[in-house]
Structure 1
Amino acid sequence: MIAKTRERTLKLARDTLTIEAAALQNMRDRLEGANADALVHAVELLHACKGRIVVSGIGKSGHIARKIAATFASTGSPAFFVHPAEASHGDLGMVTRDDVFVALSNSGETEELLTIVPIVKRTGAKLIALTGAPESALAKLADAHLDTSVEKEACPLNLAPTSSTTASLAMGDALAVALLDARGFQAEDFLRSHPGGRLGRKLLAHVSEVMRSFEDTPKIQIDASFKAALLEMTAKRMGMVVTIDQNQKVIGILTDGDLRRLLEKNVDLASIALKDAITSAPRTIPPELLAEEAIEMMEKHRINHLVVSDANGILLGALNLHDLFAAKVI
């Protein structure tokens, strides 16, 4: 790519991000007075919905509407997308008086939506409209109208839907986030609709499922030699060894980091006692906690290892970052 073309590409990319970011900031700043009241009312309508949230739009607005419907559904609010053209040929029968109908149209004059919206209203369903034209026909029909207008599209020709679709998407996310908070939606609820993939494993997996077993955990009696501890650490390849007493109670931990610090101090490793080299009372975690909590603990204390023990401090196993990566919870 020649230099001139490269610079042109980067300029357009930066300009696009700048214009769209400004559009979102402007929309945020407009959330005062009547606009703020409209947003709150929209969330109240969604929260009071006894049926489902039906999201609709055509063209680029249709693609955004699909995503918004998916976000509502994944955050605890039953929702689906309906194509306005299909709705006028039978699919409108899916909309009931207990539903809330969310219509997206930048112009607010989309013919396909204006054909079905009066029927939606007659069923008794509530109407929320996201448009860039507060004086449009769709906006005037809505029970709650959310202004998603933008000064200009990011497209250099000011034609292709760019800033306007970004604004609609962001407003949909704002509704979904406010709604999930109103519903008291928690991580456990999120898990029910996301049991698969990395996210599901991250939220579902317990420490007991991803930790090293007692047999595979590097461990040694506290009265053993320093050399024996090093051999155990090397054999189990975990970068640390747990010291225990005769009842298998955790006493301390010796890590490869501890070894580096000893070497930096020019300590004679052949003469040092194990009890003088360990870190006493290491970070421990019970096996019943979630792996996500283990990750948070490691990040908080900036450590790579956790000792797994029971309520009495008895060694059960161990966990490090490599185990979490292997279990695909990170």
Structure 2
Amino acid sequence: MQVKAYGAHSADRPLEAITIERRETGPRDVAIEIAYCGVCHSDLHTVRSEWGGTVFPCVPGHEIVGTVTSVGAEVTRFKIGDTVGVGCMVDSCQHCGSCHDDLEQYCENGFTGTYNAPTADAPGHTLGGYSRAITVDEHFVLSIRHAPEQLAAVAPLLCAGITTYSPLRHWNAGPGKKVGVVGIGGLGHMAIKIAHAMGAQVVAFTSTPAKRQDAIDLGADSTVVSREPEEMAAHNGTFDLIIDTVAASHDLDAYVNLLKRDGALVMLGVPEHPHPSPNIGSMIFGRKTIAGSLIGGIAETQEMLDFCAEHGIVSDIEMIDIQQIDEAYGRMERSGVRYRFVIDSASLDATA
């Protein structure tokens, strides 16, 4: 099946209109007409091959919301007309220990990413959501229960939402817990909203004083300007959990010092250059943890979507047409969006 898409043919060329092939609906497949696709910083890194290993043509996009148009004979969970989502994964081995535990993101044989991952489908690697349609194994399709008018703003939940929900859930954020969020961007703004809805006391850390009110509006109880030593010191030894969303190299000791005994600093961003080595002594003397977390499994992603629907949580977005994607990438690099771009996939219909 031929589908309109937007992709790059090399790392030094802008994205452009292309036509791609999608497989016909197999027995366990769900075919989806894409309505919206969020724009993740990972899209930019991959298109420009900044992480290496990009296979071209590259069609990014792993924050997908759309409508089911066809289902295979063995599909039991979805029907034509359902509103569904697809996140960062479209397959995994489904038989290793991690997959058995509903933690497909840690698949011991490697999960199949929604784009730029090996696949039997043409052209030999997965092509993502900057396209008009996609066909996905039922197991990796998610139910969307938000109201129709919220669907565009739901799209970023499929990456930014689950990436922050998973560690908050795993480290038991909730009433009586003090949770810090470092960085108020695409991930950070979701972490604030979700932690607040879980009932935690939420403190937002920002290097930009102008974002103080933004953080409060998102649900933070208070804010700290991380460049102000006195503001930081006032919170020493008081946090149960700190979610660090910053993808640039920075001093982790400043945040480890803020943790209680048995507190955890959880890293979500992968920096271009390694963080300075932390002071192990401050970890040993408080039994503190620096940990990492990667998106979430399919069951947990569904749990997150249901939680967000129940609490009225969506991402703060700016809608764009696909023809504006390179401009959007430039603004994203300059932190010029609050807080997530979402592509109106109908704009692909206007491409040649």
Which protein is richer in strand relative to its size?
Answer: 2
- Which TM-score applies when normalising by structure 1? 0.32
- Which TM-score applies when normalising by structure 2? 0.30
Which protein is richer in helix relative to its size?
Answer: 1
